[in-house]
């Protein structure tokens, strides 16, 4: 079989085109160097089908002559296994960081150790009673008791409000995220749309790399919220579940993905993990924040309750000894429904009693002052230590999760990220190859020039 005279030009053309495509891919990579979720792409070059020819310049046994190059495919350079690891770790990070944020807010509300916290207010309260025991008839000492008692009640109420707010905020954020039309719903709808576009593209035989990136980025983002699982569905599509609830369902016969009707607002039977899991725990009556509220409630009870319920002599117990039926503190439901601690409104500088007897009697004041360092202080100090430990733990865990997530991100980036140095090198590589192909083409052209224009002109 003879070979076309113009085959060299054809081969060079293939080279030119393929190098140009490779350059295009490089340009695409450079342009997307900072695009979130972008996976670098590669033009996979391969040789085109060779021509079977007889060996030898004119004649001979069969051999294969290369016909040049073509782009076999445009490949995303990505490791799916790292994606799974990353999503698992990102879920853990989402959980730890939501928990840590909320607990740190609570810690700030404590204002401990310092002069603005409940412990300082308690200290001043006991001190006021101590001073009253020294001078029960002194109006300044009596006023101080009233003021410090009010300040203490305010401090405890404020902290209780701070805790309630933290619980309410966690609940509100959870509701906002999982609501119909909420963030997760939007992400699920976006994901279903992207998956459908991928499916349509794949049906035409195309390989929609940038859509894959978008899908993977959405899955990454969802993984922060909770446990994401991607499973194959019978129709050839894939299903995506968040915390065990299917949020994108591919039709079992047609394989078309969509967000199932009625999936939102999301309700979970088990903890979904991730940020949602942390928020659910923080808002839950069995969660840590509610436990702190209960502990603070015990502190208030130890001031305003009775020994029968708190197991320790309370301020009200002592005060009622010489003033039967007169509580020092009241602890009753406020406008928000939660109990509010307050100084009994019937107690003022005139009615305040420091003990049974004349104006100099001080037994009550003496005994209340002696509660300093007792059950109330201990219960509160324990609350502070518990919160401190919880915050320290949460921060440590968040840092660890962050380091691990960053590590996986780096490993993923190491494979899929765009290295500008590499792209520049590729740019030169493909440019040179392009130039060389062009030179090869002009060489062939010159050759043909000799053949066409300079041969057969003997005597001309």
Angle, helices 7-31/420-449, rounded to nearest 10 degrees: 160
Pairwise CA distance, residues 18 & 71, whole Å: 6
Phi (first) and psi of residue 303, to 5 degrees: -90, -45
Q: For residue 50, what is the DSSP state?
A: P
Task: Identify the residue among 13, 51, 326, 381 touching another protein (CB under 8 A).
Answer: 381
Coil/strand/helix, residue 240: strand
State the DSSP string of 295-351: HHHHHHHHHHS-HHHHSS--HHHHHHHHSTT--SEEEEE-TTSSEEEEE-TT--TTT
Going residue by residue from 150 to 189, which x/- string records binding to another protein, judged by CB under 8 A?
A: ----------------------------------------
Residue 65 lies near another protein (rule: CB under 8 A): no
State the DSSP string of 368-411: HHTTTTSHHHHHHHHHHHHHHHHHHHHHHHHHHHHHHHHHHHHH
Q: Shortest distance, CB of residue 50 to another protein, whole angstroms?
A: 30
Residue 37 lies near another protein (rule: CB under 8 A): no
Residue 39 lies near another protein (rule: CB under 8 A): no
Q: Shortest distance, CB of residue 148 to another protein, whole angstroms?
A: 12
Pairwise CA distance, residues 24 & 21, whole Å: 5
Task: Identify the residue among 1, 2, 4, 34 touching another protein (CB under 8 A).
Answer: 34
Going residue by residue from 394 to 413, which x/- string records binding to another protein, judged by CB under 8 A?
A: -x----------x--xx--x
Residue nearer to another protein on the CB measure, 259 or 365: 365
Q: How many CB atoms lie within 10 A of CB 49?
A: 10
Please, is 148 exposed, middle or buried when counting C-beta atoms within 10 Å of its C-beta (0-12, 13-18, 19+)?
buried
Task: Identify the residue among 83, 95, 131, 249 touching another protein (CB under 8 A).
Answer: 131
Task: Identify the residue among 43, 69, 110, 184 touching another protein (CB under 8 A).
Answer: 110
Q: Shortest distance, CB of residue 123 to another protein, whole angstroms?
A: 4
Q: How far is CA 47 from CA 9, 241, 346, in A?
A: 16, 43, 98
Q: Shortest distance, CB of residue 36 to another protein, whole angstroms?
A: 10
Residue 126 lies near another protein (rule: CB under 8 A): yes
Binding residues for another protein, rule: CB under 8 A, are 33-34, 104, 107-108, 110, 112-113, 119-120, 122-123, 126-127, 130-131, 133-135, 137-138, 355-363, 366, 369-370, 372-373, 377, 380-382, 384-389, 391-392, 395, 406, 409-410, 413-415, 417-422, 424-425, 428
């Amino acid at each position: 079989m003879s070979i076309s005279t113009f085959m060299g030009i054809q081969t060079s053309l293939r080279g030119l085109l393929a190098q140009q495509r490779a350059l295009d891919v490089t340009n695409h990579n450079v342009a997307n160097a900072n695009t979130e979720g972008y996976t670098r792409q590669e033009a996979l070059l391969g040789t085109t089908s060779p021509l079977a020819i007889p060996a030898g310049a004119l004649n001979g046994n069969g051999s294969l002559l290369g016909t040049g190059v073509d782009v076999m495919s445009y490949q995303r350079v990505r490791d799916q296994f790292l994606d799974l690891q990353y999503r698992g770790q990102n879920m853990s990070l989402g959980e730890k960081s939501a928990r840590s944020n909320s607990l740190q807010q609570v810690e700030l509300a404590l204002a401990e150790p310092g002069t603005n916290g409940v412990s300082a207010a308690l200290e001043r309260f006991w001190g006021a009673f101590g001073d009253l025991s020294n001078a029960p008839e002194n109006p300044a000492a009596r006023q101080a008791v009233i003021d410090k008692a009010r300040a203490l009640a305010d401090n405890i109420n404020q902290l209780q409000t701070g805790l309630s707010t933290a619980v309410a905020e966690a609940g509100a954020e959870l509701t906002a995220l999982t609501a119909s039309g909420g963030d997760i719903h939007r992400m699920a709808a976006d994901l279903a749309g992207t998956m459908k576009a991928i499916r349509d593209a794949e049906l035409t035989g195309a390989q929609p790399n940038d859509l894959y990136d978008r899908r993977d980025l959405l899955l990454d983002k969802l993984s922060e919220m909770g446990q994401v699982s991607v499973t194959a569905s019978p129709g050839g599509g894939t299903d995506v579940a968040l915390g065990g609830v299917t949020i994108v369902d591919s039709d079992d016969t047609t394989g078309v993905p969509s967000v199932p009707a009625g999936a939102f607002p999301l309700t979970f039977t088990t903890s979904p993990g991730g940020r949602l899991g942390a928020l659910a725990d923080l808002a839950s009556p069995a969660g840590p924040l509610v436990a702190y509220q209960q502990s603070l409630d015990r502190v208030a009870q130890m001031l305003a309750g009775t020994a029968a319920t708190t197991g320790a002599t309370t301020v009200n117990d002592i005060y009622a000894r010489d003033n039967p039926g007169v509580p020092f503190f009241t602890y009753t439901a406020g406008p928000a429904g939660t109990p509010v601690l307050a100084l009994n409104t019937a107690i003022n500088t005139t009615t305040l009693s420091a003990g049974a007897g004349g104006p100099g009697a001080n037994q009550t004041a003496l005994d209340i002052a002696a509660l300093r360092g007792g059950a109330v202080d201990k219960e509160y100090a324990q609350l502070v230590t518990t919160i401190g430990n919880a915050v320290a733990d949460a921060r440590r865990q968040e840092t660890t999760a962050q380091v691990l997530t960053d590590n996986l991100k780096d490993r993923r980036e190491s494979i899929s990220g765009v290295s500008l140095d590499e792209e520049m090198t590729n740019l030169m590589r493909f440019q040179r190859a392009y130039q060389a192909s062009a030179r090869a083409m002009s060489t062939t052209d010159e050759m043909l020039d000799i053949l066409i224009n300079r041969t057969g002109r003997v005597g001309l």
